[in-house]
Structure 1
Amino acid sequence: MTTSPAAWLTWLEARNKNFANPTGFLSITNLVWLTNEPQTIQGISGSWWAEGDTVFVNDSNTGNHSWPIEPRGEISFDYDGIKVELASRNGQLVVRPRDPNNQMLQSFEGVITFDYNPGFCVTATLEASDAPKEVVVGSVVEGMTHAYISPGALVFSIEGNEYRLTAFDKANSEDLTVYYKDSTSGNITYGTGRSVNAFHQEDGSYILDFNYSGNFPCSYTDFATCPVSPVENKLPIAIEAGEKKPLYRNTVEGIMSQVAK
């Protein structure tokens, strides 16, 4: 893992490309939790409902259809001129329409970041737990939780002061992921925190480069089910590195301005 300014610019370019995806998170126009009662969904034709782990639609335009969804799984497909995502979250099924003409997507001008600061690229060691444990964190959706496996805490120093952050396993990787908040959260950066990867080194240490701290999708839209940072992962310092709060946010009331300093 290279953490030079040039490599960071490549990462930033990839982030911008991802957010500008015509059917990515910024194209989502709604988030609807399905029940066993048929309901219409703004932006999609037909009546939609769920029974068990299956989503159903009765549509005079396209006919009747059903899709089984794996626990915590998701599928997406073209439907009636747009992209539709079906997902399982906390045992409930949701529908999210994705429209490439969504105003939020059209207004996106790129990720806003701090300048690259090498002082926020640190070496961390893993303070391993006796055994990996499940850590349950909250969500931006009230009453919802997310569960992750943690091997322990990453310990590191910034300007001579030691800090530790609970880390989570990454699938099929020796690298780890950290969800954290700091004293910029809710002001310059998004309030529920940011995510950063810790890259495993041959000597067993980790490179934790906060310049690669990224926003959760919920920083851009109400129509997300993102986790919030673990309570213990609040740093008492300002991590002025990585992504800042986006300029705009897609809400149930429309596109709203956010102050990004």
Structure 2
Amino acid sequence: MTVQDSPTRIETFAAAWEAWHRRKDSALAHEHGFLAVTGLHWLAPDPQRFPDAPGTWSTGHDGVTVVLDEGEELVVDGTAVRGRHRFGVIPERGGVNAVWGDAVIEIAKRGGLDLIRPRHPEHPLRTEFTGTPAYAPDPRWVVTGTYTPFPQPRPITVGAAVEGLQHVYDAPGRIRFRIDDGQALGLTAFNGHAPGSLMVLFTDATSGVTTYAASRALQVEAPGPDGTVVLDFNRATNLPCAYTDFATCPLPPAENRLPVAIEAGEKLPHERKPIA
């Protein structure tokens, strides 16, 4: 699609983008979504209590354990648990949700460390959310690229929104593209959510100006037989760390810092803008 397309096609393109963006923001603002997170609590061998979760929490070689006080209860996989409960060893980037009244306690592992993140529907960050600002959708930012797989997936270590934390992802290949027939650009890709799909993390010349400084993410459908991929930068999204300090989002690989301004996709959230 190009800017020379008919007004009808451009209107259809914009309507599809609007519907997609509403769905994305709706998921973000779900009653137990990331905007409902009230704390990021790292677990240790010594038992700890937290103000926004029941019980006393600890971790060790056998994984995460909670000891609930008299009258306290969590619901795990549909079963009510009381007293001592062992969640066991949580896999990296995995997690378990335990229901506590109208809240959910997420038990997870990030960067090799166990944590809990309580999610309370009444958290002001969620209840006062008015949506994510974004550039107006523009077909100019739908770019065709070429995906080249690596001979073997490459483990790549990247930083995180939490200082000192690191993530390791397998990168299956790299995408090369141009914008408006300009300079050659490239992005190292990670695996996406759907089988065969890809995901890229990147910054560009708008980062820290009109868009979130640390990173944006773009989902890419599976490459065609000839390696062709479509990069729709209109659908570049913020990660949860753009809204809350209680996220452990990965940062882009160094080679994914684009030297051009990608004036498309989501902008800096209202929640991160300075208060006058």
Q: Which has a greater percent of strand? A: 1
> What is the aligned residue count?
250
Secondary structure, in 3 states, of the residue corresponding to 1:155?
strand
Counterpart for residue 60 of structure 1: 70
Secondary structure, in 3 states, of the residue corresponding to 2:244?
coil
Q: Distance in 2 between matches of 1:66 and 1:141?
A: 27
In the TM superposition, structure 1's runs of 4+ consecutive aligned residues that sit over 6 Å from their partners are none
Counterpart for residue 44 of structure 2: 35
Query: 1:128, CA displacement in angstroms?
Result: 3.0
- The within-5 A match list for 1:97-136 is 97-136=118-157
Tell me: CA distance 1:127–1:201, structure 2 relative to 1, closer, same or farther (3 Å): closer
> Which deviates the most, 217-226 or 42-51?
42-51
Secondary structure, in 3 states, of the residue corresponding to 1:45?
coil
Q: Distance in 2 between matches of 1:115 and 1:186?
A: 19
Query: 1:146, CA displacement in angstroms?
Result: 1.3
Stretches of structure 1 lacking an aligned partner (at least 5 in a row) = 250-257
Q: Does 1:174 align with 2:196?
A: yes
Q: Distance in 1 between matches of 2:189 and 2:54?
A: 42
Contact 2:207 2:215 in 1 (8 A): yes
Using the size of structure 2 for normalisation, the TM-score is 0.85
> Which deviates the most, 220-229 or 196-205?
196-205
Could you give the per-residue CA deviations for residues 203-243 of structure 1, whole angstroms, max 9, x where no partner exists? 43000110000001000000011000111111111111000
Could you give the per-residue CA deviations for residues 111-170 of structure 1, whole angstroms, max 9, x where no partner exists? 211000111110010133232211111111122111122122111111222211111122
AA of the residue aligned to 2:87 = W
Tell me: CA distance 1:151–1:66, structure 2 relative to 1, closer, same or farther (3 Å): closer
Counterpart for residue 235 of structure 2: 212
Counterpart for residue 6 of structure 1: 15
Query: Which one of the candidate residues 19, 22, 27 is aligned to 1:18?
Result: 27
Q: What is the Cα-based RMSD across aligned positions, in Å?
A: 1.8
- The within-5 A match list for 1:159-170 is 159-161=180-182, 162-170=184-192
Counterpart for residue 76 of structure 2: none
Could you give the per-residue CA deviations for residues 14-72 of structure 1, whole angstroms, max 9, x where no partner exists? 11211120110000000100101111101123221112222222423323322124312
Counterpart for residue 207 of structure 2: 185
Q: Does 1:229 align with 2:252?
A: yes
Contact 2:142 2:233 in 1 (8 A): yes
Tell me: CA distance 1:58–1:77, structure 2 relative to 1, closer, same or farther (3 Å): closer
Using the size of structure 1 for normalisation, the TM-score is 0.90
Could you give the per-residue CA deviations for residues 162-196 of structure 1, whole angstroms, max 9, x where no partner exists? 21111112255222111000011112111111000
Could you give the per-residue CA deviations for residues 92-120 of structure 1, whole angstroms, max 9, x where no partner exists? 21011110000100110112110001111
